[in-house]
Amino acid sequence: MSKTQIAYYKSPIGTLEITGGSKGIYSIIFVDETSENPSQVIATEIQNCIQQLDEYFKGTRKEFELKLAPKGTKFQGKVWKELLKVPYGKTKSYSQQSIALGDVKAIRAVATANGKNPISIIIPCHRIIGSDGSLTGYAGGIWRKKWLLEHEGVLKKQTSLF
pLDDT tens for 16-46 read: 999 998 899 999 999 987 666 555 567 788 9
CATH number of the domain bearing residue 109 = 1.10.10.10
Decide: 37 and 7 in contact? Cβ < 8 Å: yes
Mean pLDDT confidence for 102-113: 92
What pLDDT shows up at residue 98? Answer: 95
List 29's β-bridge partners, or say none.
Answer: 17
Range of the domain at 40: 5-58
Three-state secondary structure of the chain: CCCCEEEEEEECCEEEEEEEECCEEEEEEEECCCCCCCCCCCCHHHHHHHHHHHHHHHCCCCCCCCCECCCCCHHHHHHHHHHCCCCCCCCEEHHHHHHHCCCHHHHHHHHHHHHCCCECCCCCHHHEECCCCCCCCCCCCHHHHHHHHHHCCCCCCCCCCC
Both 136 and 101 in a single domain? yes
Using the predicted structure, report yes or no on whether residue 66 has a pLDDT greater than 60: yes
What pLDDT shows up at residue 26? Answer: 97
Report the catalytic residues: 125
CA separation for the pair 90, 143 (Å, rounded) = 18
Decide: 4 and 21 in contact? Cβ < 8 Å: yes
Using the predicted structure, report yes or no on whether residue 1 has a pLDDT greater than 50: no
Both 26 and 79 in a single domain? no
Residue 68 within any structural domain of the chain: no
Q: In 3D, which of 102, 113, 16, 14 has the Cα closest to residue 70?
A: 113
CA separation for the pair 159, 32 (Å, rounded) = 27
Both 125 and 87 in a single domain? yes
Stronger pLDDT, 152 or 157, i.e. the higher one: 152
Decide: 78 and 69 in contact? Cβ < 8 Å: no
Using the predicted structure, report yes or no on whether residue 89 has a pLDDT greater than 90: yes
Both 78 and 145 in a single domain? yes
Residue 66 within any structural domain of the chain: no
Q: What is the value of pTM for the model shown? A: 0.88
Mean pLDDT confidence for 95-112: 93
Residue 156 within any structural domain of the chain: no
Both 41 and 83 in a single domain? no
